Structure 1
């Protein structure tokens, strides 16, 4: 029987999936390689739209062909978002790397394209087949109105002709990371959202992020088994070359219920139970809009510690080349760094990383969207452990994005502790900088219900991907870490206890 509990299911999930030094050995197990999931989806029937010709030629080749230009833009958007960028031989087969990073190379996300029906792309449902860089048209009926209904008549779907739907195939990550995989799934989705947002700047598409939708309805629309695969995000694509699609921004997140009446859930079943609990149910949409969720932008950063040293991070923007040519090449050559030299970064390099990640308004002259969609960045905080930055004292700092300054909260070199906190990974020890994204989980749930757990991790992953790309552009090493001793991070670094650690990004000189 369900019991009324003090913590919500999101808080329960977070506590249950924490890593602790005394229990992590019992939680780890050998992988069953016979049950390794395939990170690709196959369809036995359907028609294929080949997108390869449009990335094999330069855009200039299509200058006098409007139809080919349209295909080239869509092809480039999908390839820069989730295309295959490398093939690495492994154990008699191959591992395929994609434009967006994924924990363990497991790639739980699937990308679907929904067409309202254009002269070039018939109405219906398409799956992006990244191995062949093609669209598989597996359903050829008009589904746009059903998508609008499922997304509670979000205004962005009124004027757009295309939409991307991202889903997650849960077992792909759970095979390795078990119940904690839910965190990694949404961090990985955040990486993908970051790529879609940035690739839109290159291809003249503006994705409008929707996180509030009736899950069951979107899953049924895609003909997926909701126990195995679930819709995560919907992104109508506004074509910026069509003046009628130059749209304002709207609210991206809706609340779900907050469940405190749940049964004892066995290990191995927590992920699926939690996902079901965070869904927006049919017939509740009207209730969810009352009261209105306020997303007022605070003019002040959350933490202003007394007597702390404050250091400005204002700097010149990162240069991404004429027509953002260096952005595309950076997306496609990005790799997660496997080892650092332990050498220092310069303070200018750290400032540039922070500027591109958190200050999009500084990039309007280069053709970037100055206000990209997140779910709610007011909920995300950033703490930085500095081990080796020339011109900056070692210690832990709070990054205040609105004031554009670092505020020091601990004075110490934490290399040894960071090695331990990152589960003994040398990346934590040898990095010059380790950056932590956190959130006050209890306060976030009060605002958005248990569904906020999705939003928080996707926003952290989105920020993480901007950090990834800025680091690669600057010739630095970068690697995200989803496994860490949760509570000890706060204790060791002096991060306020209410801040739940969502994601860790290491930065340094690549070996």
Structure 2
């Protein structure tokens, strides 16, 4: 451990994979995490199953859409819950076990992210705090009353919260799982942005808040589960406080944050989480570099339904090395430049490795998301080398693109403090989910990779000191 670095940078170094030094983990089946958080509630709020989803294209789903004059709010919330965190497919195995696929991508399909809603003055709903259970498609009320205060007026207020249960990922991935918990929460945040906006609900992501106060309001056990993102929607902003004097309905709610009877998250994971809990400010927008020759990106054409893309999204490994439709790939790349500020986009750098089958110049390209252009940084066929970096998963070299998300973790830590580590990973996950949706809408496959030889990745991409690869998403034609 490099003791002169901050705890979060030490954590990143300690959890970096090195070739020949990855020891296999023995999985304790008795500590297998429960995949759903099931509160014991006598009267859960059953959400509608016959959802009437808007026919909005993926390309327009992040635009502002009007809320109906007389909205069916329980129906809208049912649709938002289902699209954000719901079940997209049920697979029954020969041994009788049932597996539930979700609308969000997740490392190892362990799904650590959880979804909460606080609301007040919403027609058809009782004021309070709720947790969404995708298995039953229900909302469990955790607090009942004016959670935004009795003096906050009569206009409807809705706010969403995204948390992560650490043991769900740590059971398989150990201390490195903190990275995956952040990426997976970012996946869910992107789904929520689309789901809320197509229904006319505003949605603004906030990664900065007082952890202790928010976790206490959500009635979670902070040693097992923590909030990573707050999404302000109807009638609220970061300045809208909650009234945590409204008591939880029962005193045992924190117990449900535990995903296994006796398992505890690894010490290294919790050290990282506590190190990033300090309040900070998002990085200021960086100035775009103009020293390299750039290629402008056209506006993306994504006409497929966003709701269809969300429900059909899967992780694919069966890439086939054939010529890809270059325009489709460029549309996917360009869609990464379509943002919904203010989000911590400056915490992240985005690029891609193009294969000879992509129709683009083979090599590593940077994406200037502010100016919607790309710059060739390193030429040549790098796909096989990139697959070797990703723990020698050779099937990855058959993809058309490897989109890579990197960050200058040292500079972010110095500028914003350790909480910037969350910014970078949450944003990488959020944009990674966007790639999944864009690829699905183009009938292409996608697969997110969070495990790789960290130092080899930095060498392959010629990353400056302090910069690290956080996430890679492979995209390309797949065998149907």
- Partner SS for 2:336: helix
Deviations 1:422-445 (A, max 9, x none): 112234221111111001001101
Deviations 1:183-239 (A, max 9, x none): 00000001101001111221111112222222112122122111111111111212x
Say which of 194, 198, 201 aligns to 1:198.
194
Distance 1:212 1:68, change over 3 A: closer
Distance 1:378 1:45, change over 3 A: same
Which residue matches 2:319? 340
Say which of 266, 275, 288 aligns to 1:300.
288
Say which of 157, 164, 168 aligns to 1:168.
164
Say which of 284, 293, 298 aligns to 1:315.
298
Matched-pair contact (CA < 8 Å) for 1:388–1:433: no
Is 1:127 aligned with 2:125?
A: no
Q: 1:461: how far off?
A: 0.7
Which residue matches 2:88? 85
Distance 1:398 1:231, change over 3 A: same
Q: 1:54: how far off?
A: 4.4
Distance 1:32 1:433, change over 3 A: same
Matched-pair contact (CA < 8 Å) for 1:59–1:69: no
Which residue matches 2:10? 12
Which residue matches 1:29? 25
Say which of 140, 147, 163 aligns to 1:143.
147
CA distance in 1, matches of 2:433, 2:208: 22
CA distance in 2, matches of 1:159, 1:272: 39
Distance 1:248 1:273, change over 3 A: closer
Q: 1:6: how far off?
A: 1.6
Q: 1:304: how far off?
A: 3.8
Structure 1: gaps of 5 or more residues: 149-156, 239-244, 251-266, 361-370
- Partner SS for 1:43: coil
CA distance in 2, matches of 1:227, 1:50: 30
Is 1:357 aligned with 2:331?
A: no
Matched-pair contact (CA < 8 Å) for 1:383–1:396: yes
CA distance in 2, matches of 1:21, 1:72: 51
Q: 1:467: how far off?
A: 1.1
Question: What TM-score, normalized by structure 1, do the two folds share?
Answer: 0.80
Which residue matches 1:508? 476
Distance 1:440 1:4, change over 3 A: closer
Distance 1:207 1:494, change over 3 A: same
Distance 1:296 1:168, change over 3 A: closer
Q: 1:161: how far off?
A: 0.7
Matched-pair contact (CA < 8 Å) for 2:283–2:415: no
- Partner SS for 2:366: strand
Which residue matches 2:370? 402
Deviations 1:40-62 (A, max 9, x none): 0111134211113442x5679xx
1:157-236 → structure 2 map (5 Å cutoff) = 161-236=157-232
Q: 1:416: how far off?
A: 2.3
CA distance in 2, matches of 1:176, 1:158: 47
Deviations 1:91-126 (A, max 9, x none): 531111111111111010111111224342212221
CA distance in 2, matches of 1:407, 1:53: 46
CA distance in 1, matches of 2:222, 2:169: 16
Figure out how many residues of one structure are paired with residues of the other and give that number.
441
Matched-pair contact (CA < 8 Å) for 1:43–1:138: no
CA distance in 1, matches of 2:475, 2:457: 17
Is 1:110 aligned with 2:108?
A: no
Which residue matches 1:436? 404
Distance 1:18 1:463, change over 3 A: same
Is 1:457 aligned with 2:425?
A: yes
CA distance in 2, matches of 1:466, 1:383: 15
Deviations 1:120-145 (A, max 9, x none): 22122211011111111132133325
Say which of 443, 447, 454 aligns to 1:479.
447
Q: 1:460: how far off?
A: 0.7
Matched-pair contact (CA < 8 Å) for 1:219–1:231: yes
CA distance in 2, matches of 1:429, 1:17: 25
Distance 1:213 1:476, change over 3 A: same
Matched-pair contact (CA < 8 Å) for 2:86–2:134: yes
Matched-pair contact (CA < 8 Å) for 2:130–2:142: yes
Which residue matches 1:491? 459
**Considering only aligned residues, what root-mean-square deviation do their CA atoms show, in Å?**
2.8
CA distance in 1, matches of 2:380, 2:25: 35
Structure 2: gaps of 5 or more residues: 56-67, 240-264
Matched-pair contact (CA < 8 Å) for 2:175–2:266: yes
CA distance in 1, matches of 2:321, 2:115: 37
